[in-house]
Chain A
């Protein structure tokens, strides 16, 4: 009689273990929201804020008007963190590429690249609209 009761007890224990394993494994299946979106969102904000701050007095459009690509590269490089990789492309309103030389810094990209389009209007009498595409990545990020 005791042996039968012991066997039932062992079965209950095994059943409880199985139930707990089942519950725990269920919890592990629930997907955890990743913070990848926040990371790329920060890069997008950084890119947008960089262009906006450079355009505050119409400086950005003036550099493009004059085709001063090296000065434009220097301005963007100084406004971004040292660990950032960037590539800027200047388009006309018909999306033809205007910059005759690359506006980029050296660096190895190992992270995600975000791209921001910025509509830039000139303050000069000869009104011109440009579309600036700034691609940005954090060097060394995964």
Chain B
């Protein structure tokens, strides 16, 4: 009698143990699948925005952003072996952004080149489902102030201070292009004297030869940052 009872108890224990283990294996979990890989996707998306913004600010078409994102989306979804991934994106279309792009050359010394896109990731597997929404923003900004000093023989010495930012943080530049307005046309500056303070701040001086000094003197700057994004602004310099 005791043996039969213990046999029954043993069967109950065994079946309970197996049931618990099998249930643990198949319990649906939320937020694990996409969370593991989302930093990698976010980095790829960020790189894509940088590439598109570099292209657009170098004269490319705004549609390159959607083209590149579609290409990335296609590669990500076709290389997801464990889960079915669905990616939707929406470029920001709220003023001043158009199709996710803002390129502003301010005449007050403020210039911005920016890309802003919202994403929704859905990932579903055999026992997992997750959803992630986030916005990606890449912004390069320039802040320009300047003064000029009237010299002899129609020469004007222009002194500029430039602050460059990448995503709100001080950033270094690859190169600068300067020009100033002489009457009705723009004159490129050939050899400006550029001093970098190493923290995104630059002091620039050059001599401008003008037919007739216009007050104030308007100076334009185009700057390519280390990521290849061009940002520009112009400023009116006073004596």
With A119-B75, A127-B55 as contacts: A52 and B43 at CB distance below 8 Å: yes
With A18-B3, A31-B21 as contacts: A119 and B71 at CB distance below 8 Å: no
Chain A residues near B81 (CB, 8 Å)?
Answer: 117
Q: Which of A22, A45, A121 has the most CB of B within 10 A?
A: A121
From B18, B36, B54, B64, contact of A48 by CB (8 A): B36
Tell whether B149 is near chain A: CB-to-CB under 8 Å. no
From A20, A23, A48, contact of B40 by CB (8 A): A48
Contact B76 A125 (CB under 8 A): no
- Interface pick from A54-62, A72-80, A82-90, A103-111: A54-62
Tell whether A122 is near chain B: CB-to-CB under 8 Å. yes
From 41 to 67 in chain B, residues with beta carbon under 8 angstroms from any chain A beta carbon are: 41, 43-45, 47-48, 50-52, 54-55, 58, 60, 64
From A26, A56, A120, A122, contact of B10 by CB (8 A): A26
Contact A22 B10 (CB under 8 A): yes
Contact A121 B44 (CB under 8 A): yes
- Residue ID in chain A nearest B5 by CB atoms: A19
- Residue ID in chain B nearest A91 by CB atoms: B79
Over the window 23-64 of chain A, the binary record of Cβ atoms lying under 8 Å from chain B Cβ atoms (1 yes, 0 no) is 101110111010000000000010010011001101001000
- Residue ID in chain A nearest B20 by CB atoms: A30
Chain B residues near A123 (CB, 8 Å)?
Answer: 47, 50-51, 54, 227-228
Contact B17 A124 (CB under 8 A): no
Contact B79 A119 (CB under 8 A): yes
Contact A26 B72 (CB under 8 A): no
Q: Chain B: how many interface residues by the 8 Å CB criterion?
A: 42
Contact B51 A127 (CB under 8 A): yes
Contact A58 B18 (CB under 8 A): no
Contact B18 A117 (CB under 8 A): no
**CA A107 to CA B12, docked complex, whole Å:** 49
**CA A83 to CA B11, docked complex, whole Å:** 46
- Residue ID in chain A nearest B57 by CB atoms: A125
Chain B residues near A45 (CB, 8 Å)?
Answer: 36
Tell whether A71 is near chain B: CB-to-CB under 8 Å. no
- Residue ID in chain A nearest B64 by CB atoms: A127
Chain B residues near A121 (CB, 8 Å)?
Answer: 44-45, 47-48, 51, 68, 72
Chain A residues near B43 (CB, 8 Å)?
Answer: 52, 55-56
With A121-B44, A121-B48 as contacts: A30 and B71 at CB distance below 8 Å: no
**CA A33 to CA B25, docked complex, whole Å:** 10
B142 → chain A closest CB, angstroms: 19
Chain B residues near A119 (CB, 8 Å)?
Answer: 40-41, 44, 72, 75-76, 79
8 A-B residue contacts at CB 8 Å?
A18-B2, A29-B14, A30-B14, A31-B21, A55-B40, A119-B76, A120-B47, A129-B75
Q: Which residues of B contact A (CB under 8 A)?
A: 1-3, 5-7, 9-11, 13-14, 17-18, 21, 24, 36-37, 39-41, 43-45, 47-48, 50-52, 54-55, 58, 60, 64, 68, 71-72, 75-76, 79, 81, 227-228
